[in-house]
Structure 1
Amino acid sequence: MTDLLYQTDSYLQTFQAVVTAIDEANHAVILDRTAFYPGGGGQPYDCGTLRAGAATYPVSRAKKAGADVLHIIDANSSLPFPGDRIEGTIDWERRYKLMRTHTAMHILCGTVFRDYGALVTGGDMDPLQGRMDFEFETMHRELVEAIEAAINAEVQNARDVQVKILPRAEAFAIPDLIRTKINLLPEGIEQVRVVEIMGLDLQADGGTHVRNTSEVGRIHVTDYKSKGKINKRIYVQLDV
């Protein structure tokens, strides 16, 4: 079982670990601990490098496999050996953009829920851009402009972002913990990681975030469209 270091420290860029196994079929390395985010919840995977001695192994992506994280190595590269001690390095420029973007999506979600009571029906993101679907019957320019102004006010409010890992029963005692239309948390999870934008949003979430909303920067609503009778999509983009 891989120890997921990113769950408690999203800013960890390098880490030490031991190779516990090699997955030949996926040309991948399994470590005892990792800071690589394997993707999920709309947030894409991390990439970067592993280094063992003088050898460097490019990680093209990280991927969840049960309780482990696969570090998929470029096909034209060799693999380390079980027992090797390695240093992992995250592609920080990509990761930090995703952290800013993911927090921006929570600002959007929290603001829309607070102001309009609309639940999220879907979402996706890439570095510095994303989209989120909400249970709105109608969507028009004046509404979108009001949402854009409100979410940027929350960026300027410089709200702290905190992460906690709680027992399942304690987490689900929190009102409105699940802001999505469908509860995506598997029944077997005994501990729930929650991310709170203080005074705005509190959700079960497994991804990486910045420490303060001020780090997100300006959020631009670039487009919106109807995806169904009660399903409206908002597209956002962040400044570089």
Structure 2
Amino acid sequence: MTHTHRLDLDDATLREWDATVVGVDPERGIVLDRSAFYPGGGGQPPDHGVLLWGGVRTRILGTAKGDDLYLVPHEEDPVPPAGTAVRGALDDRRRTELMRTHSGLHVLTGVVFRDFGALVTGGNMEPLTARMDFDLAEVPPDFKDRVAEAVNAEIRTDRRITVSTLPRDEAFAIPDIIRTATNLLPPGIEVVRIVDIDGLDTQADGGTHVASTAMIGRMEVVKMESKGRGFRRLRVRIV
């Protein structure tokens, strides 16, 4: 059981909060009782930010895997000992750009699934740039342009994006709730987090998102690549 309450799952707009250090592992990092740092996963990289305590600033560069949410401090910065009250703050620009990018990728996967019936085989993102791979044997010559046009039409529609949770059995009763060719959800998970783009896309997902598609901006489909038989990679940019 984790000690850390995941504030990022409660409110993706939260950027500052108060917390207490409940543990420090010299190899893995700092554990807080409450944290809004997204730890990374599902292609979305972890947040960056700082912990402020006693007139000191400790930069947080990411997270480490383990039995809890370990925050990785900059190697040159002091580490607050267990019991210290701290003020956490995220790098707002990085988090917001990642939210826009992640939501944009959900619009992309929703459009490609709706219009071409293709599932996702892989993907990765950084702030405002990403790649997404699809299982798609045949594509029309104007595939890239058609996808870009359809994605931006959905973004302009300003569809609401909501997050909810459902028991596993109820979640898997939703048609096409898994949009990846391989189900990546851990077998033992009992509650599934659902991200819904109203009228376009519903997926199981654990990342952070903006509140509506209009907040994404505009997506440019920069390049399409063939990555072997039936696999197509789209490289995109959010502007």
TM bucket normalised to smaller? over 0.9
Q: Give 1:184's aligned residue.
A: 184
Alignment of 1:1-240 (within 5 A): 1=2, 2-26=4-28, 28-66=29-67, 68-239=68-239
2:159 counterpart letter in structure 1: R
Worse overlay, 105-114 or 130-139: 130-139
Please state how far the C-alpha of 1:63 moved relative to its aligned partner: 3.3
Distance 1:63 1:156 in 2: 37
Q: 1:208 to 1:63 in 2, by over 3 A?
A: farther
What is the CA–CA distance in structure 2 between the aligned matches of 1:60 and 1:170, rounded to whole Å? 37
Deviation at 1:73, TM superposition (A): 0.6
> What's the secondary structure of 1:65's corresponding residue?
coil
Once the two structures are TM-superposed, the CA of residue 205 in structure 1 deviates from its matched residue by: 0.5
Alpha-carbon distance in 2 for matches of 1:196, 1:7 = 15
- C-alpha RMSD of matched pairs (Å): 1.0
Opposite residue 23 of structure 1, the aligned amino acid is: D
1:17 CA displacement: 1.1
Distance in 2, matches of 1:63 and 1:175, equals 34
Task: For 2:163, give the aligned amino acid.
Answer: V
Q: How far 1:64 sits from its partner (Å)?
A: 3.8
Give the fraction of aligned pairs with identical amino acids, expressed as a percent: 46
Structure 1 runs (4+) greater than 2 angstroms displaced: 62-66, 138-141
Shift of 1:173: 1.2
Tell me which amino acid in the other structure corresponds to 1:195. V
* 2:11 partner letter: D
How far apart, CA to CA, are the structure 1 residues paired with 2:65 and 2:141? 40
Please state whether the residue corresponding to 2:93 is helix, strand or coil: helix
Report how many aligned residue pairs link the two structures.
Answer: 237
Compute the TM-score of the two structures, normalised by the length of structure 2: 0.96
* Gapped regions of structure 2 (runs ≥ 5): none
For 1:59, what is the secondary structure of its paired residue? strand
Query: 1:138 offset after TM fit, Å?
Result: 2.8
